[in-house]
């Protein structure tokens, strides 16, 4: 395995701005927002950079920093399941190039309406604020500047519209092509802007004026392929700068005419074209070679990992759902903590909650967490049955399935006696905790003085541990609970700090 170090190799991309009304929702039918051709690629195609042969070092695993954007109120996130389908497709498109991507550190959630639906300046601000070093910074938003997606050379990041991602949509692969130096197959024709402006009955111009230079248009016989358009000789001539659909034979329905008056058909398979997702499928070999060489130039100074990655998927057979127990009736109506075990190989977990046992349609909640517990305090109704399930996800192998579906019924009492602000400031970990392991109660900068009193109570209501009078100062709390004498099972940890109460459910495992 190779770790990843990124240097800026691209010229700043000029973003394509498409007008959208304030009421119009992004549908995913607009253009890619990248229009450049990098200096690195120009040098590579001119023979100034050596060709790179694949070695026997195996797959290069490149870490992604994935930022999921939503509106200020936390709505409009992309479904984690659809994201995993998109990541699986991305990796399948790059597997034969010995490149695979993985999410490092789990998904990052950002609530910002400004960034979720942004123009070029706001998008640049977003990347400047949230980019992490040595990762492929990726942002999934509602509307990326009116495009399906774009690569920002200036910020070295990829921004994707969530409506253009999924198990059949190759926008991500297209933008990663830009990330690794590839231009569009129709490079130069961006300046024409509309397919309707192409005169199908007359020869194409010998050049098109684009980005301050005359770009040769590619001839159908490929005789000028090294200097025309994208500079690759195994990509077909392509003048189509708008999204287009293919016929049953996989070509643009109309023939085009090159500068020598030769008619030709444009095949639709190339991921770097603007053919619709149902038409595209792959890169050409020269495109693959260029991307691999670019990747090697990026990571040539990387350190070599001491051990290969663990490619095993997280097995749902190892999942244990502790709480709520199946068909449990809860006391409170407005708060529930779901707790499960740490599954071997799992890097994060997909959690779903619904009011029916059918998760195939609209689902009440689908989210991810790096923890083994998730507490819901909003959107719950009294005396209502809910269904929940967990899917563990490994870092390098995101395949897998959901575990069993459990159900619980909400109670009638409110948690109004629980201090919400203090409850959010106190961390109790690990949970679940192995018997004999120390359970930590941590709270920083609580701005409280007085004492901490707490009790550990088993499911039968018996007080197993009772501690009183632990000093609390303004800097916070740091307490350790020895679980060595607690049998495996579920417990309630009730804490009082000064005159404020909080409660947590904990699980002790064998």
Q: What is the pLDDT along the chain (510 residues), one digit of tens a residue?
A: 333 332 222 222 222 222 222 223 344 445 798 888 999 999 999 999 988 887 767 888 999 999 999 999 988 899 999 999 999 999 999 999 999 999 998 899 999 999 999 999 999 999 999 999 989 999 999 999 999 999 999 899 999 999 999 999 999 999 999 999 999 999 999 999 899 999 989 999 999 999 999 999 999 999 999 999 999 999 999 999 999 999 999 999 999 999 999 999 999 999 999 999 999 999 999 999 999 999 988 887 655 555 678 899 999 999 999 999 999 998 877 888 899 999 999 999 999 999 999 999 899 999 999 999 998 888 899 999 999 999 999 999 999 999 999 999 998 877 656 677 787 788 999 999 999 999 999 988 777 778 899 999 987 778 899 999 998 887 788 999 999 999 999 898 988 887 787 888 899 998
pLDDT at 415: 66
CB 394 within 8 A of CB 310: yes
Give the CATH H-level superfamily of domain 39-182+284-298: Collagenase (Catalytic Domain) (3.40.390.10)
Give the tokens for residue 300.
């040539």
Give dist(CA 137, CA 278) in Å, integer: 27
Q: Which of 243, 307, 315 is nearest to 279 (CA)?
A: 243
Give dist(CA 201, CA 291) in Å, integer: 36
- Apex 88 CA angle, 129 and 357, nearest 5: 95
Give dist(CA 88, CA 488) in Å, integer: 38
State whether residue 437 is helix, strand or coil. Answer: coil
What is the pTM for the complete model shown? 0.81
According to DSSP, the residues that pair with 492 across neighbouring strands are: 457, 505
Give the tokens for residue 414.
């409110």
Q: How far is residue 359 from each of residues 340, 356, 362, 479, measured CA to CA in Å? A: 20, 7, 7, 41
Cis bond upstream, residue 332 (ω within 30): no
Q: Which of 437, 453, 440, 438 is nearest to 501 (CA)?
A: 453
Chain centroid offset of residue 246 CA: 29
Question: What are the two backbone dihedrals, phi and then psi, of residue 339, each rounded to the nearest 5 degrees?
Answer: -130, 135
pLDDT at 307: 62
Pairing of strands 157-161, 500-509: unpaired
pLDDT at 334: 81
Q: Which of 119, 206, 152 is nearest to 36 (CA)?
A: 152
Pairing of strands 157-161, 143-144: unpaired
**If residue 298 lies in a helix (H) or strand (E), which one and from where to where?**
helix 285-298
Length of the chain: 510
pLDDT at 480: 95
Going from N- to C-terminal start, the domains of the chain cover 39-182+284-298, 184-282, 316-409, 420-509
- The dotted CATH code for 420-509 is 2.60.40.1930
Sequence-distant (≥ 6) Cβ neighbours of residue 182 within 8 angstroms: 41, 230, 272, 283, 287, 290, 291
Q: What is the DSSP letter of 127?
A: H
pLDDT at 306: 52
Q: Do domains 316-409 and 420-509 have the same CATH topology?
A: yes
State whether residue 361 is helix, strand or coil. Answer: coil
Strands (E), 53-161: 60-70, 99-103, 108-111, 117-118, 136-141, 143-144, 149-152, 157-161
Q: How far is residue 343 from each of residues 114, 322, 340, 347, 371, measured CA to CA in Å? A: 37, 13, 9, 9, 11
Strands (E), 220-330: 256-257, 263-264, 321-323, 328-329
Architecture of 316-409 per CATH? Sandwich (2.60)
pLDDT at 422: 81
Give dist(CA 79, CA 366) in Å, integer: 7
State whether residue 325 is helix, strand or coil. Answer: coil
Give the tokens for residue 91.
């990796």
pLDDT at 497: 85
């Amino acid at each position: 395995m190779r770790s990843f170090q990124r240097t800026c190799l691209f010229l700043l991309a000029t973003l394509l701005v498409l007008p959208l009304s304030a009421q119009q929702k992004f549908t995913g039918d607009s253009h890619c927002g990248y229009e450049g051709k990098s200096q690195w690629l120009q040098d590579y195609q001119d023979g100034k950079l050596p060709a790179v042969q694949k070695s026997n070092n195996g797959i290069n695993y490149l870490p992604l920093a994935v930022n999921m954007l939503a509106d200020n109120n936390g709505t409009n996130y992309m479904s984690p399941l659809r994201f995993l389908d998109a990541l699986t497709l991305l990796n399948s498109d790059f597997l034969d190039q010995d490149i695979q991507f993985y999410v490092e550190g789990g998904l990052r959630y950002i609530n910002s309406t400004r960034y979720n639906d942004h123009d070029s300046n706001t998008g640049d601000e977003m990347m400047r604020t949230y980019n992490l070093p040595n990762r492929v910074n990726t942002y999934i938003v509602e509307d990326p500047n009116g495009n399906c997606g774009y690569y920002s050379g200036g910020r070295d990041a990829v921004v994707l519209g969530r409506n253009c991602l999924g198990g059949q949509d190759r926008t991500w692969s297209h933008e990663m092509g830009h990330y690794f130096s590839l231009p569009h197959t129709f490079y130069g024709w961006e300046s024409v802007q509309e397919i309707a402006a192409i005169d199908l009955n007359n020869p194409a111009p010998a050049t098109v004026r684009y980005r301050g230079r005359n770009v040769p248009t590619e001839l159908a016989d490929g005789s000028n392929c090294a200097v025309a358009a994208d500079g690759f000789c195994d990509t077909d001539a392509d003048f189509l700068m708008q999204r287009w659909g293919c016929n049953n034979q996989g070509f643009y329905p109309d023939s085009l005419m090159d500068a020598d008056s030769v008619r030709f058909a444009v095949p639709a398979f190339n991921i770097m074209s603007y053919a619709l997702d149902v038409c595209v499928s792959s890169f050409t070999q020269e495109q693959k070679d260029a991307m691999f060489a670019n990747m090697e130039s990026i990571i040539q100074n990387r350190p070599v990992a001491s051990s290969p990655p663990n490619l095993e998927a997280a097995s749902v057979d190892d999942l244990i759902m502790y709480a709520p127990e199946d068909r449990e009736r809860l006391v409170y109506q407005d708060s529930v903590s779901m707790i499960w075990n740490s599954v071997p190989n799992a890097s994060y977990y997909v959690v779903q909650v619904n009011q029916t046992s059918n998760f195939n349609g609209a689902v009440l909640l689908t989210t991810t967490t790096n923890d083994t517990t998730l507490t819901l305090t909003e959107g719950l109704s009294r005396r209502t049955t809910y269904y929940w399930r967990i899917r563990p996800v490994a870092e390098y192998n995101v395949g897998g399935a959901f575990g069993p579906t459990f159900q619980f019924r909400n109670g009638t009492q409110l948690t109004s006696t629980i201090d919400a602000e203090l409850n959010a400031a106190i961390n109790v970990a690990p949970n679940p905790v192995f018997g004999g392991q120390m359970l930590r109660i941590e709270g920083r900068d609580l701005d409280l003085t007085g004492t901490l009193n707490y009790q550990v109570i088993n499911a039968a209501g018996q007080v197993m541990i009772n501690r009183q009078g632990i000093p609390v100062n303004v800097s916070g709390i740091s307490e350790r609970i020895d679980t060595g004498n607690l049998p495996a099972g579920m417990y309630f940890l009730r804490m009082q700090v000064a005159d404020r109460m909080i409660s947590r459910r904990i699980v002790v495992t064998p």
